[in-house]
A and B are shown apart, each in its own frame.
Chain A
Amino acid sequence: MSKTGHLFVSADPEKCVGCRICEYICSFEHNGVFNPLRSRIRVVRIYPTINLAITCRLCEDAPCVKACPRDALTQSEENGAIIVDEDKCNGCGWCIEACDFGALTLDPDKKIVMVCDLCSHREDKKPQCVEWCPEEALSLTNRVILAQKARIDAVEKLFKAMLPE
Chain B
Amino acid sequence: MYGYAGRILKVNLSRKTYKTEPLSEEFARKYVGGAGFGIKMLLDEQPPGIDPFDPENPLIFAVGPLAGTMAPTSGKYAAFAKSPESNFLGEGYSTGFFGPELKRAGYDILVIKGKSEKPIYLWIDDDSIQFMDARHIWGKTTWETETMIREELGDYYIRIATIGPAGEKLVRVASIINDHWRAVGRTGLGAVMGSKNLKAVAVRGSHDVEVADPDGLKEHCAELYEEMSKSPKTAKYRTLGTPANVIPLNEAAALPTRNYQSATFEGAELVSGEYLNEHFVVKIQGCEACPMRCEHIALIQEGPWKGTAARIPYEPLMAFGPYCGVDRLEGVIKAKELCDKYGVDAISTGIIIGFAMECFERGLIDEKDTGGLELRFGNYEAMVAMVEKIALRKDIGDVLAEGVKRASEKIGKGSEEFASHIKGVETTGYDLRGLKTCALGYAVSRRGADHQRHGSYGHDLSGKVDRFKVEKGRGRLVMEDEDVYCIFDALIICKFSRRLWDYERMARIYREVTGIPMTGKELRKVGERISNLGRLYNIREGLTRKDDHLPPRVMNLPIPSGVAKGSYVSQEELDFLLDDYYSTRGWTREGVPTIEKLKELGLEEYTYIVEPKLKREAEK
Check: A18 CB closer than 8 A to any chain B CB. Answer: yes
- Our pick among A18, A27, A49 for the contact of B286 (Cβ within 8 Å) is A18
Stretch in A4-12, A30-38, A65-73, A144-152 with 4+ CB within 8 Å of B: A30-38
Whole-angstrom distance between the Cβ of B102 and the nearest chain A Cβ: 14
Range, interface on chain B? 20 to 34
Give chain B residues whose Cβ lies under 8 Å from the Cβ of A55.
none
Q: Are B297 and A21 in contact (CB under 8 A)?
A: no
Chain A residue at minimum C-beta to C-beta distance from B147: A47
A59 to B209, CA, bound (A): 33
Q: Are B70 and A28 in contact (CB under 8 A)?
A: yes
Q: Are B70 and A19 in contact (CB under 8 A)?
A: no
Q: Are A19 and B289 in contact (CB under 8 A)?
A: yes
Whole-angstrom distance between the Cβ of B347 and the nearest chain A Cβ: 21
- Once A20-B288, A21-B289, A134-B225 are accepted as A-B contacts, the answer to whether A28 and B208 lie under 8 Å apart by CB is no
A18 to B68, CA, bound (A): 15
Check: B287 CB closer than 8 A to any chain A CB. Answer: yes
Question: Which A residues from 88 to 141 make CB contacts under 8 A with B?
Answer: 108, 132, 134-135
A48 to B310, CA, bound (A): 8
Q: Are A33 and B210 in contact (CB under 8 A)?
A: yes
- Our pick among B181, B229, B299 for the contact of A134 (Cβ within 8 Å) is B229
A37 to B283, CA, bound (A): 27
Question: Which A residues from 149 to 164 make CB contacts under 8 A with B?
Answer: none
Check: B285 CB closer than 8 A to any chain A CB. Answer: yes
Give chain B residues whose Cβ lies under 8 Å from the Cβ of A28.
70, 214, 218
A47 to B177, CA, bound (A): 14
Give chain A residues whose Cβ lies under 8 Å from the Cβ of B157.
36
Check: B211 CB closer than 8 A to any chain A CB. Answer: yes
Q: Are A51 and B285 in contact (CB under 8 A)?
A: yes
* Per-position 1/0 for B196-222, Cβ under 8 A of A: 000000000011111100100010000
Q: Are B293 and A135 in contact (CB under 8 A)?
A: yes
Check: A58 CB closer than 8 A to any chain B CB. Answer: no
A24 to B297, CA, bound (A): 25
A25 to B290, CA, bound (A): 13
Q: Are A132 and B214 in contact (CB under 8 A)?
A: no
Check: A17 CB closer than 8 A to any chain B CB. Answer: yes
Check: B553 CB closer than 8 A to any chain A CB. Answer: no
Whole-angstrom distance between the Cβ of B413 and the nearest chain A Cβ: 42
Chain B residue at minimum C-beta to C-beta distance from A38: B208
Q: Are B283 and A49 in contact (CB under 8 A)?
A: yes
A45 to B287, CA, bound (A): 11
Check: B427 CB closer than 8 A to any chain A CB. Answer: no
Check: B529 CB closer than 8 A to any chain A CB. Answer: no
Whole-angstrom distance between the Cβ of A2 and the nearest chain B Cβ: 29
Chain B residue at minimum C-beta to C-beta distance from A29: B218
Give chain A residues whose Cβ lies under 8 Å from the Cβ of B207.
35
- Once A35-B207, A35-B208 are accepted as A-B contacts, the answer to whether A21 and B282 lie under 8 Å apart by CB is no
A38 to B207, CA, bound (A): 10
Give chain B residues whose Cβ lies under 8 Å from the Cβ of A21.
70, 225, 289-291
Give chain B residues whose Cβ lies under 8 Å from the Cβ of A17.
284-286, 293
A28 to B216, CA, bound (A): 13
Chain B residue at minimum C-beta to C-beta distance from A47: B180
Give chain A residues whose Cβ lies under 8 Å from the Cβ of B193.
none
Whole-angstrom distance between the Cβ of B238 and the nearest chain A Cβ: 10
Q: Are A19 and B287 in contact (CB under 8 A)?
A: yes
Chain B residue at minimum C-beta to C-beta distance from A35: B208
Whole-angstrom distance between the Cβ of B454 and the nearest chain A Cβ: 28
Q: Are B70 and A24 in contact (CB under 8 A)?
A: yes
Most chain B CB within 10 A, of A21, A32, A38, A135, is at A21
Give chain B residues whose Cβ lies under 8 Å from the Cβ of A36.
157
Check: B69 CB closer than 8 A to any chain A CB. Answer: yes
Q: Are B285 and A49 in contact (CB under 8 A)?
A: yes
- Our pick among A19, A27, A49 for the contact of B297 (Cβ within 8 Å) is A49
Chain B residue at minimum C-beta to C-beta distance from A51: B285
Whole-angstrom distance between the Cβ of A43 and the nearest chain B Cβ: 9
Whole-angstrom distance between the Cβ of B228 and the nearest chain A Cβ: 7
Q: Are A19 and B214 in contact (CB under 8 A)?
A: no
Q: Are B70 and A48 in contact (CB under 8 A)?
A: no
Give chain A residues whose Cβ lies under 8 Å from the Cβ of B289.
19-21, 24
Give chain A residues whose Cβ lies under 8 Å from the Cβ of B291.
19, 21, 134
Give chain A residues whose Cβ lies under 8 Å from the Cβ of B70.
21, 24-25, 28, 34
Q: Are B206 and A37 in contact (CB under 8 A)?
A: yes
- Our pick among A34, A49, A51 for the contact of B69 (Cβ within 8 Å) is A34
Give chain B residues whose Cβ lies under 8 Å from the Cβ of A134.
225, 228-229, 291, 293
Check: B163 CB closer than 8 A to any chain A CB. Answer: no
Check: B160 CB closer than 8 A to any chain A CB. Answer: no
A24 to B72, CA, bound (A): 11
Q: Are A24 and B286 in contact (CB under 8 A)?
A: no
- Once A34-B68, A134-B228 are accepted as A-B contacts, the answer to whether A19 and B210 lie under 8 Å apart by CB is no
- Once A49-B309, A51-B285 are accepted as A-B contacts, the answer to whether A34 and B209 lie under 8 Å apart by CB is yes
Most chain A CB within 10 A, of B70, B180, B210, B297, is at B70
Give chain A residues whose Cβ lies under 8 Å from the Cβ of B290.
19, 21
A135 to B228, CA, bound (A): 11
Q: Are A34 and B208 in contact (CB under 8 A)?
A: yes
* Per-position 1/0 for B294-315, Cβ under 8 A of A: 0001010000000001000000
A24 to B66, CA, bound (A): 13
Q: A18-B285, A48-B180 are in contact. List 17 more A-B contacts (CB 8 A).
A: A20-B289, A21-B70, A21-B289, A21-B290, A27-B208, A28-B214, A34-B68, A35-B206, A35-B207, A36-B157, A47-B180, A47-B181, A48-B297, A48-B309, A49-B282, A132-B225, A134-B229
A-B contact pairs, 11 of them (CB 8 A): A17-B285, A19-B291, A21-B289, A24-B70, A32-B210, A33-B209, A34-B68, A35-B207, A35-B208, A47-B181, A49-B283
Give the B-binding residues of A (Cβ under 8 A): 17-21, 24-25, 27-28, 31-38, 45, 47-49, 51, 108, 132, 134-135
Q: Which 4 A-B pairs have the closest CB atoms?
A: A134-B291, A33-B208, A19-B286, A48-B309
